[in-house]
Amino acid sequence: MAKLQDRVAIVTGASSGIGLACAERYAREGAIVVGTDIQDSEGWQAVVEASPQSRLHTLDVTDGEAQQALAQKTAAEFGRIDILLTAAGVGDGGPVGWLEEDAWDRVIDINLKGTYLSVKSVLETMCAQRSGSIVTVASVEGINGTEGGSAYNASKGGVVLLTKNIAIDYGRMGIRCNTICPGFIDTPMLRGLMDPMPDVKADIIGEVKMGRLGKPEEIAGAACFLASDDASFVTGHTLVVDGGYTAGHSHGIVQMMGLV
């Protein structure tokens, strides 16, 4: 049987990149997927083909009232909400002294406040049914700093700790909450940030121990595990999926030894 058969999942940021890949995987595993994003997506057709009751709504995650209304509508229509995955996010930053206040606010509002509002919107339903799996999407940049990543890193670090608090506060209600920290994944957002800086991109790939960028589908595999009964005793966990980027530094020694 599919891992998520007949479960109801809300996925934010579902029109592209990691969010779309997770929505597709959830649908293939039998879930009804209610996706949200600020833009439509031709790729969403694959979700509907796998799970015909699935649909994509236009929604801004910083709009708490809209999030609450969608969660209530979803629970009323399908009778429950089993899974929430929060993939909506933006990348921006720069050294603090250079960073404009409105840029800081935008990143924090979407990445951190948007996660809080998404989780808040489903808790009433999950508490009533005394079950649920919440999977937040943070980043390796939320556990290790990177040059110029002030706002983004702060927002994702906040997601990591928010996730732990949700796990602590709601575990006895049968609700699990875990976060995935993707490394550098080949998504439209990453390409938009990194393609203008090819030398930086090459240096980053050089620090990935597997020698390549990750694929959105590889994050979706982790997200499927955390949402499923296979992770029934996993909560408050930070799952790093980064090809070894944060494992440590490489200095060419293994090449000198002829191991690669």
Q: What own/partner pairs with CB < 8 Å and gap ≥ 24 does 37-46 have? A: 37/12, 37/13, 37/88, 39/15, 40/15, 41/14, 41/15, 41/16, 43/15, 43/16, 44/14, 44/15, 44/20
Q: How far apart are CA 103 and CA 250, in angstroms?
A: 34
Q: Please indicate whether residue 152 is annotated as part of the active site.
A: yes
Positive or negative torsion for Cα 131, 21, 243, 183:
negative
Spatial CA neighbour of 51 closest among 73, 84, 78 = 78
CA distances from residue 108 to 9, 92, 112, 133 in whole angstroms, order as listed: 24, 10, 5, 24
Q: Residue 109: left if φ>0, alpha if ψ -120 to 50, beta else—which one?
A: alpha
Summarize the chain as % helix, strand, coil (round to 5).
50, 15, 35
Reading the block at residue 88, the tokens are 């909506």
Phi/psi for 7 (5° steps) reads -85, 160
Reading the block at residue 181, the tokens are 């920290």
| DSSP per-residue string spanning 48-68 | HHH-TT-EEEE--TT-HHHHH
Beta-strand pair 32-37/55-58 = parallel
Active-site hit among 26, 116, 152, 245 = 152
- Which are the catalytic amino acids? 152
